[in-house]
Amino acid sequence: MSINDIGKQLSKLPSIHPEFFQKYRSFADDVWQKGVLSAKEKEIIAVSVTTVTKCSYCTKFHSKKAKRVGVTAEELIEGAIIATSIETGTALLPSISISLFERLGVENQEKSLKKLFPDQYTHLHDLLILPFVDSVGLLPTKLVILISYAVAHALRSSEYIDKLQTVASEHKVSEQELNEASLIAAALRAGSTVRHLADVLDVVDAERSPTV
């Protein structure tokens, strides 16, 4: 289905089962409409998280919202690469030592990575440290940390969450800001689940249609 077709199907949910749908919708509305993070910050975080929740409808939906509040393509690309760093790191966590992981962004770990990945260690190190060092791009360091924290929640990585809490404290990112980032991850995981109801309704509608 196209993004428009998915949106049309999802728009039916409030009238089909309003009481239950509203339990999700009220939660999501609170996440997007309340709190201390700006609309621009929320949408950059949102698009970044959708790259790991693998919800293409969510990516397109929040990319449109991001564009409306003035987010640039470059900012969205940076956010997605930060998410890529977290995704790469979580995939490698079973293969690297905890001490190596904990020292990323604190001390150069290229020698340790070289022992594990002799042909790829340099660029791997450059990618892995992105969430833990001062920003080298357009996005401010605080936002890089919040993106990373939200993505870590979406991927359920306790190792990244614990490390990022320390980094956040060092950069004066508030507990409320971190909590809101985690709620954005939760809302997007919930939204990617609700999105599948469009497929359910598409099948229901097809079953109701008379056969020719």
pTM (two decimals): 0.94
- The whole-angstrom separation of Cα 34 and Cα 146 is 17
Domain positions in the chain: 3-208
Predicted pLDDT at 211:
56
User: Per-residue pLDDT tens for 128-182?
Assistant: 999 999 999 999 999 999 999 999 999 999 999 999 999 999 999 999 999 999 9
pLDDT at residue 185 greater than cutoff 90 = yes
Token pair of 61, please?
């939906």
Q: How many CB atoms lie within 10 A of CB 205?
A: 11
- Of 168, 159, 187, 82, residue with least CA distance to 127: 82
Domain 3-208 has CATH 3.40.50.300: no
